[in-house]
Structure 1
Amino acid sequence: MKYINAEEVLPKELVCQIQQYVQGNLIYIPKYDNREKWGEKTGAKKIIFERNNQIISMYQNGYNIKYISKKYYLSEHTIRKIINSRK
């Protein structure tokens, strides 16, 4: 990463504001990240959230873990993790 003088790339007013917090030290400004989070664009996150709610509901209504794992094609371990994640 290359050193850049703030006075060369930022407006003078902004440099003055930053100097109120940091003077003479290096400061890292992270890259702006405007990407959507996983599953938000395709709706996968919502689908999995709804599926997990159904799994928890079935368990609370007396269905056993083995039956639920076969119904959703998930391992019993995964079903337990889903159930325990919402307790």
Structure 2
Amino acid sequence: MADGNKIFDDLGKLMNDAAGVADGVRREAETAVKAQMERLVNDMDLAKREEFDALRELVQIQGEEIAELRKELDALRSKKKSS
């Protein structure tokens, strides 16, 4: 019976080793794919999220400023017509 347990112990160790190797291969593949994707994105010259958000905020502020300037211009034109 001791030989049967040794076989199962050896089989268990072998399966653990195989799982460890498979996990290492998976991590290595993920790292390689991630590096390749980063190179691809960098080659595409895409804007980073932070840059996009900053530009969107700037455009929104400028749009509000333009609306205010148009109101002031319309008020000046109305004043000039009534003079």
Q: Larger Cα Rg: Structure 1 or Structure 2?
A: 2
Counting helix residues as a fraction of each chain, which structure ranks higher? Answer: 2
TM-score by length of 1: 0.30
Higher relative contact order (CA 8 A, sep 6+): 1
TM-score by length of 2: 0.31
